[in-house]
Amino acid sequence: MSQSQRFLVTAVPSRRDGLGSNGMQNGDSSVQETESTVPILEYLREPNKYGDGIPKESSPFINSTDIDKGTMYEGKNLALFEEEMDRNPMVSSLLNRLANYTNLTQGVREHEEAENNEESRKKEIKAPQMGTFIGVYLPCLQNILGVILFLRLTWIVGAAGIFGSFWIVFICCACTLLTAISMSAIATNGVVPAGGSYYMISRSLGPEFGGAVGLCFYLGTTFAGAMYILGTIEILLTYIVPSAAIFKADDPSQETQTMLNNMRVYGTCTITLMATVVFVGVKYVNKLALVFLACVILSILAIYAGVIKTAFSPPDFPLCMLGNRTLASKAFDICAKISTVGNQTVTTQLWRLFCDSPYLNATCDEYFNLNNVTIIQGIPGIASGVISENIWSTYGSQGELLEKRGLPSVPASESATNTRLPYVFSDIATYFTMLVGIYFPSVTGIMAGSNRSGDLKDAQKSIPTGTLLAIITTSFIYLSSIILFGACIEGVLLRDKFGDSVDGNLVIGTLAWPSPWVIVIGSFFSTCGAGLQSLTGAPRLMQAIARDGIIPFLRVFGHGKANGEPTWALLLTAGICEIGILIASLDSVAPILSMFFLMCYMFVNLACALQTLLKTPNWRPRFTYYHWTLSFLGMSLCLALMFICSWYYALVAMVIAGCIYKYIEYRGAEKEWGDGIRGLSLNAARYALLRLEDGPPHTKNWRPQLLILLNLDTEQNVKHPRLLSFTTQLKAGKGLTIVGSVLEGTFLDRHADVQNAEQNIKTLMGLEKTKGFCHVVVSSNRRDGVSHLIQSSGLGGMKHNTVLVAWPELWRQTDGPTGWKNFVDMVCETTAAHQALLVTKNIDSFPTNQERFAGGTIDIWWIVHDGGLLMLLPFLLSQHKVWKKCKMRIFTVAQIDDNSIQMKKDLQLFLYQLRLDAEVEVVEMLDNDISAFTYERTLVMEQRSQMLKQMQLSKNEREREAQLIHDRNAAAHSSGTDRLSVSPEGVHMTWTKEKITAEKNKNKESLSPEGVRDIFNMRPEWGNLNQSNVRRMHTAVKLNEVVVNRSQDARLVLLNMPGPPKNRQGDENYMEFLEVLTEGLNRVLMVRGGGSEVITIYS
């Protein structure tokens, strides 16, 4: 949010008045507690224990019984909330738990540490410390730069030309850049636990899409391992040790098939060896990661150094040409038809290849006779001007000769070319879309940073920065390499994929400086390392999918060794990887993994676009440079690239994903991850409603679905139109709105009034721009009608979870006890229905939708944690133009033994993780004596209650009696305020040891028998008061003093609304407590949670 927001916190001391820990005096049966309390500091230390962490993702923060009972609050300053604390923890406990929580990494690090149990027990677990450069930038760099750069980029440039290659690289890099922007938004929308891309996709799109795309991502990672292994073998057998080939080709036409057989044999041995290394211990792979990364960086530097060197000293790299056809130099030693030995002219090996005898009168190939043999330089250098010849594409069909344009050539009469002659042929057909499919794997690897999110010091900052910088860096390397290759290397040599025309040398290696072996060895180790890392990461991805339990038959792959190593998943990965190796052709495997990665990227973009368009309250990414149009463009580009690369592979990948989706849907996805698809279904019709009935919405999808209870006058007009204005201002969170009201009587008699009332309400809703539904019911009495609305409003998933009402201002003057009793009953019924309750006091002073606050504050008084609704409401209000310029302040109450300075730091951290901007203040309330004003106010309250119960008064007499008591209250409050104003040191900001000791001693002295007798000697009837009522009144008076002192000028004050007594005795006193609590404030919104968590720090 653009405005800073302030929150104020209030400290509360421990109770020393001899009361029990459950908040009642011994023998006092009027207050009962049956449930355990969740202190907020405890919740903050272990949020996973209470909910929304990874081990128990859907468990609530509140209503947890796994609590240390000894930490329950025992002070009397908050006695008004004591019965709430069995479900709603103190804020101080909440913040302390958050401050002591560490998001431990889940991955290779634990597996390494678990290999030595004794050392792991002694080792202190440290917080993640990896920064942007080490944790994100370098891993992404290492994963993006790889086998395609070294083995295929020169060939792509030769076939597509500089212009076509530039477009291929630009389209692929644009696709990954847009995907990285979407991924950054998702990754910074809260704490991303270790799990990376699969976690983001599955938690954003739901278990069905999550399982389908997760498996596709796993298959892509596995086939990437196969591609890297095939690249390793190709480098080994083609450029390092060609003699190591097991199968030899007697016929040149069989060379391709022979090479594939060698790849299969060596690839199978390599996958077995690598799987064994990963099984023995991934720590060896991690230790070699820096070596592999160094190989990649050194190789790239060597290429740039070689390009610079060609400007003044190009390497001697001759090509032998017959006419304009390229010859394979392995078959002969001298690029000439004849040579002179001594004084004799003799034929060369090249002559014998084209002629039937070594003699000069032999019968030779017609093309050989008609054309001359020439030598050209394969790498003429950057200053040679060869770039003009390589700008445009030179696509060819399979088996086509590599010919240089511009060289003189006399065509032969024969229609077919003998494949046994030493020409260089194209092994496969080349065209634009096929080259896109082969090149795209070279830009994958952008999720290496998000996969390490658990190891990062600040994932929300490092993932976007590191990933985007890595993409920009690698895009520059690829684009500059295309131009440099086209400017330095001859076109026919670029199209010679395996270097047959230059004795089987690696073209990019010959260009490099100081030695070709820098590239050969560097590319060998980098591809080998990339294969190892794929075999390390893919099994863990499968293990995560299996442990989620969304695909039952995969659960076996969630098990592994004692230290967590995914043994069964490793075996499955090796088996699938073997399929890719049996395909054997790198050019055939590359499009397969392109499909799976493109599908994964497409759904990352879909997840971001969906969350942005839905505008869920939980969607608050710290990375702000995203837009749904960019995500939609990235999604469309991924889909287009899938069909550009290979339309049949794209269809197969979609069918696989669709089958997995339907299987998970058929088996019934038991997981609820707060995903965007589930949020979208709220706006769908019957099908979506039936799905939403499966269970309550997840915390991340929670938004206030409002039931507004309106009061109508005798003409069926709305008494408080500002209630609908306030509703509209809350609807930045979208969601459901039901406006309800009750008419007394029978429906047969009042159906016309119902229609009139609904018409009036709908008209007002249109004026106030409140989008929702209207529901007016007729009941014999108002209480039953309100109960029916609370129970039955809504349909399926479109059911309200929050009730909004106006405070009954004239509850004292209402005819009989029905006014306040209806209100208390409604509070009890919303609590029983697990619905939140919002009560607006002084609703007629609330702003209309046309007003604009130019400043001011929204003050939140966070007394107990009842689900986080107090945090969410100001955020939703601040989205509306009425409240947009208001700052937020949060105040919370600290206990006497709490460190208020540390509490403030913890709360600031908590708000940072919630992505909320607010000012924080901690208020410490002294555990003062119960004042004479409190006793007098309680006495007047009880006297009034008794009088109304015992005396059968007429309506007029009741009103006069109520007014008399109200006047006495006002006089007593005035005298109490005067007395309190004398001691301004009643509120302190920091507790010290001396202050705590003095306060405790003061409490002990004041609560001594002599002190109690002195108090009751002032007015003997005070001794007969219900002490529970005295303590509650004391809480209301003290809190009201602090709130008025801090927030009297606030635009809006939000505070926790305590519940009525559970034993239902003294309900009439409950209204008095709330009246005292909110006296002197202009606009008040009392909030009572519904028993579920509504805000979360997680993504």
CA-to-CA distance for 79 and 558, rounded, in angstroms? 49
> pLDDT digits over 1012-1040, tens only?
444 444 454 444 455 666 777 777 788 88
Burial of 19 (0-12, 13-18, 19+ CB in 10 A): buried
Per-residue confidence band for 944, with pLDDT thresholds at 50, 70 and 90: low
- From the list 532, 604, 618, 555, the residue with the least C-alpha distance to 199 is 604
Distance CA 71, CA 40 (A): 10
User: Is the model's pLDDT at 822 over the cut of 90?
Assistant: no
Question: Residue 119 contacts by C-beta under 8 Å, 6 or more apart in sequence?
Answer: 113
The band of 1054, judged by pLDDT with boundaries at 50, 70 and 90, is very high
pLDDT value at residue 618: 80
Mean pLDDT of 396-417: 82
Tokens of 563: 């230290």
Q: Which two three-digit tokens encode residue 968?
A: 């006495």
- Here the tokens at position 596 are 């799976």
Percent pLDDT > 70 in the chain is: 73
Using CA atoms in the order 148, 154, 155, 156, what is the torsion angle rounded to 10 degrees?
A: 70
Residue 594 has pLDDT above 50, yes or no: yes
The more confident residue out of 263 and 81 is: 263
Which residues, other chains included, contact 538 with Cβ-Cβ below 8 Å and sequence gap of 6+? 218, 221, 222, 225, 569, 573
pLDDT band at residue 1064 using 50, 70 and 90 as cut-offs: low
DSSP assignment string, 502-531: GTT--HHHHHSSS-HHHHHHHHHHHHHHHH
For residue 982, the one-letter residue type is V
Q: Count the neighbouring beta carbons within 10 Å of the beta carbon of residue 943.
A: 13
Three-state secondary structure string covering 117-180: HHHHHHCCCCCCCECHHHHHHHHHHHHHCCHHHHHCHHHHHHHHHHHHHHHHHHHHHHHHHHHH
Over the stretch 472-526, which tens digit does the pLDDT of each residue have? 999 999 999 999 999 999 999 999 998 888 888 888 988 998 888 999 999 998 8
Amino acid at 709: L
CA separation for the pair 557, 544 (Å, rounded): 9
What integer pLDDT is reported at residue 1001 of this predicted model?
A: 52
Predicted local confidence at residue 393, as pLDDT: 92
Write down the pLDDT at residue 439. Answer: 94
State pLDDT tens for residues 787-820.
Answer: 999 988 888 777 888 899 998 888 776 554 457 8
pLDDT score of 17 more than 80: no
Query: Encoding tokens for residue 1057?
Result: 């609304």
> Which pLDDT band holds residue 554 (cuts at 50, 70, 90)?
confident
- Tell me, what's the pLDDT at 923? 85
- Beta-carbon count within 10 A of 536 CB: 23
Strands (E), 357-436: 373-377
**What is the three-class DSSP state of 780?**
coil
* DSSP strands (E only) in 280-403: 318-322, 325-326, 338-341, 344-347, 373-377
- Nearest-angstrom CA–CA distance, 380 and 316: 8
* Sequence letter at residue 164: G
HSE at residue 215, side-chain half, CA atoms within 13 A, is: 26
DSSP H stretches of helix in 330-415: 349-354, 366-370
Assigned token pair, 551: 């695909």
Tell me the sheet residues that pair with 718.
712
Integer CA distances (angstroms), 180 to 232, 476, 947, in order: 28, 16, 71
Looking at the DSSP assignment, which residues form a beta bridge with residue 953?
none
146 and 598 Cβ atoms separated by less than 8 Å: no
pLDDT tens-digit series, residues 670-694? 566 655 566 555 555 566 666 666 5
Q: Return the residue matching tokens 């080939």.
A: 245
How far the first Cα of the chain sits from its last, in Å, is 18
pLDDT attached to residue 15:
41
Angle, CA of 913, 915 and 921, to the nearest 5°: 80
Amino acid, res. 523: S
pLDDT at 677: 61
Report how far residue 612's alpha carbon sits from residue 494's, in angstroms, rounded to the nearest whole number. Answer: 45
Considering just the CA atoms, what is the radius of gyration of the chain in Å? 39
The mean of the pLDDT values for the chain is: 78
Kind and range of the H or E run holding 919 = strand 919-925
* Spatial separation of the C-alpha atoms in residues 181 and 391, rounded to whole Å: 32
Range of lowest pLDDT (665-669, 813-817, 990-994) = 990-994
**How high is the pLDDT of residue 582?**
93
Q: Check if the beta carbon of residue 80 is closer than 8 Å to that of residue 1039.
A: yes
Q: Residue ranges of the alpha helices (H) in 188-239?
A: 196-235
Burial of 906 (0-12, 13-18, 19+ CB in 10 A): buried
Tens of pLDDT, residues 759-794? 999 999 988 888 889 999 999 998 899 999 998 888
Q: What is the pLDDT of residue 776?
A: 93
49/56 Cα distance (integer angstroms): 8
pLDDT in tens, 531-552: 888 888 888 888 888 888 888 8
Q: What confidence tens digit (pLDDT) does each residue in 158-173 have?
A: 999 999 999 999 999 9
The pLDDT of residue 702: 76
The pLDDT score that the predictor gives to residue 482 is: 95
Q: CA dist 318 to 385, 481, 507, 581, Å?
A: 17, 22, 12, 35
Q: Is the pLDDT of residue 56 over 50?
A: no
Q: What was the pLDDT predicted at 924?
A: 78
**Tokens representing 289?**
């990661």
Q: Show the 3-state SS of 585-612.
A: CHHHHHHHHHHHHHHHHHHHHHHHHHHH
Q: Judging by beta carbons within 10 Å of its beta carbon (0-12, 13-18, 19+), is residue 433 exposed, middle or buried?
A: middle
- The answer to whether residues 1034 and 934 touch, using CB atoms and an 8 Å cutoff, is yes
Q: Which two tokens stand for residue 281?
A: 């211990």
Q: Are 239 and 506 a contacting pair, CB within 8 Å?
A: yes
Confidence of residue 637 (pLDDT cuts 50, 70, 90): very high
The pLDDT, as a whole number, for residue 1015 is 45
- Rounded average pLDDT over 1060-1078: 77
Q: Structure tokens of 1043?
A: 């709130």
H or E element that contains 804:
strand 802-806
- Compute the C-alpha angle 1091/1096/1099, nearest 5°: 145
**DSSP helix/strand/coil, 857:** strand
Cα separation, 234 vs 584, in Å, equals 10
Please report the pLDDT score of residue 198 as a whole number: 75
pLDDT for the residue numbered 955: 47
Question: pLDDT (tens digit, 9 = 90+) per residue, 447-457?
Answer: 877 776 666 78
pLDDT at residue 255 above 90? no
Phi and psi, residue 432, nearest 5°: -55, -50
Is beta strand 373-377 parallel, antiparallel or unpaired with respect to 318-322? antiparallel
Helix axis angle, 586-614 to 153-187, nearest 10°: 30
The amino acid present at 501, given as its one-letter code, is S
862, pLDDT greater than 60: yes
Helix (H) or strand (E) holding 860: strand 857-862
846 close to 726: Cβ distance less than 8 angstroms: yes
Is residue 1087 over pLDDT 80? yes
Is the distance from CB of 531 to CB of 142 less than 8 angstroms?
no
Q: Is the pLDDT of residue 1008 over 70?
A: no
pLDDT of 65 higher than 70:
no
Cis peptide leading into residue 315 (ω within 30°) = no
Check whether 731 has a pLDDT greater than 70. yes
Torsion (CA) 431, 434, 435, 438 in degrees, nearest 10: -160
Please say if the pLDDT value at position 891 is more than 70.
Answer: yes
Confidence of residue 966 (pLDDT cuts 50, 70, 90): low
Per the CB < 8 A criterion, the answer to whether 187 and 459 are in contact is: yes
Nearest 5°: the CA angle 673, 676, 679 is: 95
Strand partners, 838: 804, 1087
How far is residue 37's CA from residue 498's CA, in Å, rounded to a whole number? Answer: 72
Return d(Cα 412, Cα 58) in angstroms, integer.
Answer: 77
Q: What is the DSSP letter of 550?
A: S
For the segment 894-943, what is each residue's pLDDT rounded down to a tens digit?
Answer: 777 777 888 888 888 888 888 888 888 888 776 655 555 555 555 555 55
Q: Which helix (H) or strand (E) holds 742?
A: strand 737-744
CB atoms within 10 A of CB 5: 23
Write down how long the chain is. 1099
Distance CA 226, CA 582 (A): 9
- Angle of the 647-667 helix axis to the 586-614 helix axis, nearest 10: 50
The winner for highest mean pLDDT among 282-286, 338-342, 398-402 is 398-402
Q: What is the mean pLDDT of residues 1046-1053?
A: 90
Lowest mean pLDDT among 187-201, 343-357, 895-909, 976-990: 976-990
